[in-house]
Amino acid sequence: MTGWRALLLPHRLLLMALFAGFVIWCALSLRWDWLPDYLPLAVEGLWRTIWILAVTCILGFLLAIPLGLAQAVGPWYLAAPARAFCTIIRGTPLLLQIWLLYYGFGSLFPQFPWIRASELWPYLRQAWPYAVLALTLSYAGYEGEVMRGAFSSVNKGQLEAARAFGMPRRMIFRRVWLPQAIRNVLPTLGGETILQLKATPLVATITVIEIYAVSSRVRADTFIVYEPLLLLALVYMIIAGIIALIFGRIESRVPNRRQG
């Protein structure tokens, strides 16, 4: 009773019929006339959400590798700051971090003439660099903790074998240690990426127009409450499903211990 056949159980068919009825009811009796007007904006917002998600996950993960390594095997003067960073990031709300960066630095920078004169100023005046920075640091903080466990869980014998073959330290890290650490935490990474997706709407509070901000604007312009929110929830569920699929695909491709 696995796979597609499990969907054909009588009670599931009933539930699916009910759900289909709900969808049809939604399509027919709720208001969707605003949709064509806002569709271009929604597509743009969706693209921005995905772009922010991808960039912050990749940058955050690159930052998480040294953070995890420092905590797992680093000397105390590297391990202590890394642990403090992870604790602070994980112990305070992301919304507060975003507002601290945006409003804090946003009000600090204009006081320095040399920053205003620099070439970076046009970017520093916009909201998205702060959004990307805050989300990157957040992902790095959570992932640093995950990678700490991953690095220390790699089998010692593997590292010793690599050393016995005379591999230089960098090569051991690149060919043995890092791949095995990442393989061990792939399921966790998938879950954390979905959590990161769920954190992206927070950047709408600092005027980054992503998909959540578009739905807020529809609500503010037309006073239609439920339709944009339901559609938004559906969009997020689809993206989360795609992320789960991608990570499932990667996991099935990576050879695990049992397959040798």
Partner 1 sequence: MVEALLDTLGLTKTVELLSLQPPGWGGNLLRGLANSLQIAFGAFGFGLLIGLGGAYGKLYGGPILRDLLTIYTTVIRAVPELVLILILYYVGTDLINQAASAMGYGRVEISGVAAGIWVLGVVQGAYATEVLRGAIQAIPSGQLEAARAFGMPPLMTLRRVTIPAMMGFATPGLANLWLIATKDTALLAIVGFSELTLETRQAAASTRAYFTFFLAAGALYLIVTLFSGVIFGRIEKWARRGQPSLREGNG
Chain residues that interact with partner 1, rule: CB under 8 A: 9, 11-12, 14-15, 87-88, 90-97, 99-100, 103-104, 106-108, 194, 197-202, 205, 212, 225-226, 229-230, 232-233, 236-237, 240-241
Task: Quote the tokens at residue 219.
Answer: 């609500």
Tell me whether residue 136 or residue 196 sits nearer to partner 1 (CB atom).
196
Tell me whether residue 181 or residue 206 sits nearer to partner 1 (CB atom).
206
Q: What does R_g of the chain's alpha carbons equal in angstroms?
A: 23
**Least Å distance between CB 174 and partner 1?**
30
**Least Å distance between CB 9 and partner 1?**
7
**Least Å distance between CB 17 and partner 1?**
13
Tell me whether residue 34 or residue 99 sits nearer to partner 1 (CB atom).
99
Tell me whether residue 3 or residue 260 sits nearer to partner 1 (CB atom).
3
**Least Å distance between CB 168 and partner 1?**
33
Helices (H), the chain: 10-29, 35-73, 76-91, 94-99, 106-108, 113-117, 121-124, 128-153, 156-164, 169-172, 178-199, 211-222, 226-253
Which of 201, 241, 218 shows the shortest CA–CA distance to 42? 218
Residue 33 gets which letter from DSSP?
T
Start-to-end Cα distance in the chain: 29
Tell me whether residue 173 or residue 212 sits nearer to partner 1 (CB atom).
212
**Least Å distance between CB 138 and partner 1?**
11
Phi, psi of 168 (to 5 degrees): -70, 160
